[in-house]
Amino acid sequence: MPFYTHQILICSGKRDWTSNIQDDDHGEFVKLLRSFLRSTDRSNIPATTMITASSFGTTLTSEAKQRKHGEPTVSVYLLPKFKYIPYLSMTRTAIRSLVHEYLQEPNYHKESTLKHTSQDFEGRSRLPPSTDVNEFFVLICGHNTRDERCGVMGPLLQEEFTRALGRLDIPVTPEGESPTDTVNNSVNQGERLEARNASQAGSESVPGTTSWRARVGLVSHVGGHKYAGNVIIYIPPGYHSVMGGSHPLAGKGLWYGRVAPKHVEGIIEETVLRGRVISELFRGGVDDHGKMLRI
């Protein structure tokens, strides 16, 4: 797999994209970010940032909300930082601030820092607040326009993961619901939790997962179509294994390849619930310090 230290998920609300996502709806953001990452001093950015579009919905529900201070904005997830930024301006100043705030690894090269100007710090102060995300992610390449293998396998896997998690009473957040929607609907969330607890008698629910929630979505090209289905799993910091103790994969991202629907229950059982890596499917991974995972 191509090594990366961070993944930026663009909330497009779509299930397929142009072959190159910089030609899609949020293409200007992709172009600016890629341009900045190529031109900046990368001594404190240890490797690549993977930029993908996702089927997750956006906080931006109207044309009016899509512009902050008259500027177009985009909603993004930052992984494995587990952060969500609902209104990020698609300007060089905001994107420069994004890199300084979230993509820079200060301990990666202690003797160098990103080049900056006074404008950088002004921009950084304008970076909107982020929301912590306490859900685990199952990201599946479903970029049909780029490769039909992913276009076929992606939706099948998404459906199977959603169904299998449902059988375990682990809620899957609707694709169109953003973290800010979840916070704003905390009363409804409590009602759903009560209903879930009431229904657990005689079900297949797993002890220790009462507070767990999942986001299962399609993403654009991640590399290696021949490995379809490509699945990336991110487990949030603070999660615990159902075996007890800290989850071995908490704060990490794990990449599986050649995943078929028949593998889904095993992935949930072994990797999501217990933190075990399935070596036959393993393509790589990353931790929250930008280090590559090996087995």
- Provide CB contacts within 8 A for 213, sequence distance 6+: 134, 135, 136, 170, 171, 172, 173
d(CA 27, CA 20): 9
Q: Which two tokens stand for residue 90?
A: 């698609």
Residue 103, pLDDT score: 82
- The structure's pTM equals 0.85
- Provide CB contacts within 8 A for 198, sequence distance 6+: none
Q: Which two tokens stand for residue 152?
A: 């076929």
Residue 128, pLDDT score: 81
d(CA 209, CA 206): 6
pLDDT tens digit at each of 295 positions of the chain: 667 889 999 999 999 999 999 999 899 999 999 888 877 555 555 458 899 999 999 876 544 455 555 678 899 999 999 999 998 989 888 998 898 888 876 544 333 233 333 344 444 446 788 999 999 999 999 999 999 999 999 999 999 999 999 999 999 999 999 887 755 544 444 444 444 444 444 456 787 787 899 999 999 999 888 899 999 999 999 999 998 899 999 999 999 999 999 999 999 999 999 999 999 999 999 988 778 888 8
Question: Given the structure tokens 């999942």, which residue do they identify?
Answer: 214
In the three-class reduction of DSSP (H, G, I as helix; E, B as strand; rest coil), residue 141 is classed as strand
d(CA 141, CA 231): 7
d(CA 115, CA 124): 14
d(CA 95, CA 14): 23
Q: Which two tokens stand for residue 186?
A: 């905390």
Which three-class secondary structure string do you get for 7-45?
A: EEEEECCCCCCCCCHHHCCCHHHHHHHHHHHHHCCCCCC
Helix (H) / strand (E) element for 130: namely: none
> How does pLDDT run across 69-87, given as a tens digit for each residue?
567 889 999 999 999 999 8
Residue 82, pLDDT score: 96
Residue 45, pLDDT score: 54
Contact 154, 140 (CB under 8 A): yes
7: number of CA atoms within 13 Å, CB side? 28
- Of 138, 142, 148, 104, the residue nearest 21 (C-alpha): 142
Residue 189, pLDDT score: 45
Residue 87, pLDDT score: 87
Q: Which residues pair with 234 in a beta bridge?
A: 137, 253
245 C-beta neighbours (distance < 10 Å), count: 8
